[in-house]
Chains A and B, each alone.
Chain A
């Protein structure tokens, strides 16, 4: 009977053959031009792109470069462009994809080789640029480490934690048309971080201070609300809401500044 295959329960169906093509280039070997290399392998149960890539590296091609640490969507190192869209390889099941899978390194970031990019360097520069740490009052001797921290309302801690879940994977930056066009654009990741510190009662910075950091067209006003960031963020951070929120606050800070009212005495 012809229908036999269709009638079989899912487990007994023959596994799919995946064709994974990888955009390969190693900046250390500039003489070899960027090229697409295709690997074929059999899909296994519960296979993620992380598992598939490891199998390729172990069995077919030990020279293939890509990054992984946690394989659980926590470290943010396995982000890559999967069929055109940035995502985490370790959180992407191959069953969610067609049998033809195209992988490329994240754009914007410095390429280390093949699928491996240096997001760390970019994120570090971003952190220094918008100062992603709590700016607390310091005593003359520096921070007072012995003093007990002030209590925080659970809802407040919850709201901060919600935004603090960012794993700095870089997907939002790679998915952002603005970041692709203008390399000085801070990106949703930075704006979300400042939204997080703005909520933190221990951070003494006010909107005027934040305006100094992101109140221009390389900052929050550069965002064109393309929402690629919001749609790809693997941690489902509410980036659209936070971008709009910071835009309102920064617009208000900028507008008020006209008569010098927002200028804080330094």
Chain B
């Protein structure tokens, strides 16, 4: 008997959706840790920034490296968003059916998916300005530069909303990816699910706390630095002699 072979595309799209999502979540967790270096000190944050600009390898800062990284992340985000968009309610009828279902079921994992939709949708608007800024002004990252942005540039409301949506989306997303594909040795489904919830709930809480504390710190730095906007931070250890 001859059969029509079904397209292999759905399998690839599904795998790509998860892989791009997990990659983005790992990126965002790393991002949170690097940003929160400000909680240690201005010098620590300066060092992290310079590291990504290749300063310690090339001997001079090359902010275009940051731009390239931003471009890669943005591309990944676009792929992920396009793939995830397929799962959104595609019509008002579907939206209503899901809403009715969600409200009647009062079911945790169904609610969680809805939060994915809401935060994903929010990030569509919140992440783009941030990414555009980092892409076009990669040099404007640093203890003072970022503090100025947050306070004098009035970016903090956007960052505040972004922190919540991105951390929730990442935490819920990786939790759901683990359940979607299953973990090796996950015999007892209910127990696996409980443990994963604790694990990713914990990660999300820690990341969110770090993000918010960092934002508060940049706000304070920006406020104190409000009269000297534009001035860049230079650690005492690398003062005048090393300046180009």
A binding-site residues for B, Cβ under 8 Å: 81, 84-85, 107, 175, 177, 180-182, 211-212, 215-217, 219, 221, 223-228, 230-231, 238, 240-241, 243-245, 247-248, 250-251, 253-255, 257-258, 263, 266
A71 to B176, CA, bound (A): 36
Selected from B10, B86, B107, B187, the residue in CB contact (under 8 A) with A228 is B107
B11 touches A250 (CB 8 A): yes
Q: What are the 9 closest A-B residue pairs judged by CB atoms, nearest first?
A: A254-B11, A244-B182, A84-B104, A181-B94, A221-B14, A257-B8, A225-B180, A227-B109, A216-B10
A227 to B176, CA, bound (A): 10
Majority DSSP secondary structure for residues of B touching A:
helix
**B15 contacts across to A, CB distance below 8 A:** 251, 255
Query: Which candidate, B67-75, B95-103, B204-212, B219-227, is the interface stretch facing chain A?
Result: B95-103
Within 8 A of A (CB), among B15-57: 15
| B179 close to chain A: CB less than 8 A | yes
- Nearest B residue to A102 via CB reads B104
Q: Which residue, of A175, A217, A221, A251, has the highest number of chain B Cβ atoms within 10 A? A: A221
| B153 close to chain A: CB less than 8 A | no
| B105 close to chain A: CB less than 8 A | yes
A266 touches B86 (CB 8 A): no
Q: Knowing A182-B94, A224-B113, A255-B11 touch, does A248 contact B182 (C-beta < 8 A)?
A: yes
18 residue pairs from A and B, CB less than 8 Å apart: A84-B104, A84-B105, A107-B101, A180-B97, A180-B98, A181-B89, A181-B97, A211-B6, A216-B7, A219-B10, A221-B10, A226-B113, A238-B189, A241-B186, A244-B180, A248-B182, A254-B10, A255-B15
A215 to B5, CA, bound (A): 11
**A81 contacts across to B, CB distance below 8 A:** 104
A228 to chain B, nearest CB (A): 6
**A228 contacts across to B, CB distance below 8 A:** 105, 107, 109-110
A245 to B189, CA, bound (A): 12
Selected from B8, B89, B110, the residue in CB contact (under 8 A) with A254 is B8
| B106 close to chain A: CB less than 8 A | yes
**B187 contacts across to A, CB distance below 8 A:** 241
**A85 contacts across to B, CB distance below 8 A:** 104-107
A212 touches B6 (CB 8 A): yes
**A224 contacts across to B, CB distance below 8 A:** 87, 113
Q: Which residue, of A107, A219, A226, A258, has the highest number of chain B Cβ atoms within 10 A? A: A226
- Nearest B residue to A176 via CB reads B101
B14 touches A251 (CB 8 A): yes
A251 touches B11 (CB 8 A): yes
- Nearest B residue to A244 via CB reads B182
- Nearest B residue to A246 via CB reads B182
A247 touches B181 (CB 8 A): yes
A84 touches B14 (CB 8 A): no
- Nearest A residue to B182 via CB reads A244
Within 8 A of A (CB), among B199-219: none
- Nearest B residue to A174 via CB reads B101
Q: Knowing A225-B180, A241-B186, A244-B180 touch, does A215 contact B94 (C-beta < 8 A)?
A: no
Known: A226-B113, A228-B110. 19 other contacts (CB 8 A): A84-B105, A85-B106, A180-B97, A180-B101, A212-B5, A215-B8, A216-B6, A221-B14, A224-B113, A225-B176, A225-B179, A231-B107, A231-B109, A244-B179, A247-B180, A248-B182, A251-B15, A253-B11, A266-B3
**A258 contacts across to B, CB distance below 8 A:** 8
B104 touches A215 (CB 8 A): no
B169 to chain A, nearest CB (A): 15
A258 to B12, CA, bound (A): 10
A179 to B159, CA, bound (A): 36
- Nearest B residue to A209 via CB reads B3
A257 to B7, CA, bound (A): 9
- Nearest A residue to B15 via CB reads A251
Q: Knowing A180-B97, A224-B113 touch, does A175 contact B87 (C-beta < 8 A)?
A: no
- Nearest B residue to A262 via CB reads B8
A238 to B210, CA, bound (A): 37
**B94 contacts across to A, CB distance below 8 A:** 181-182
B172 to chain A, nearest CB (A): 11
A177 to B112, CA, bound (A): 12
B128 to chain A, nearest CB (A): 25
**A243 contacts across to B, CB distance below 8 A:** 180
- Nearest A residue to B101 via CB reads A180
A158 to B196, CA, bound (A): 28
Selected from A175, A177, A238, A263, the residue in CB contact (under 8 A) with B98 is A177
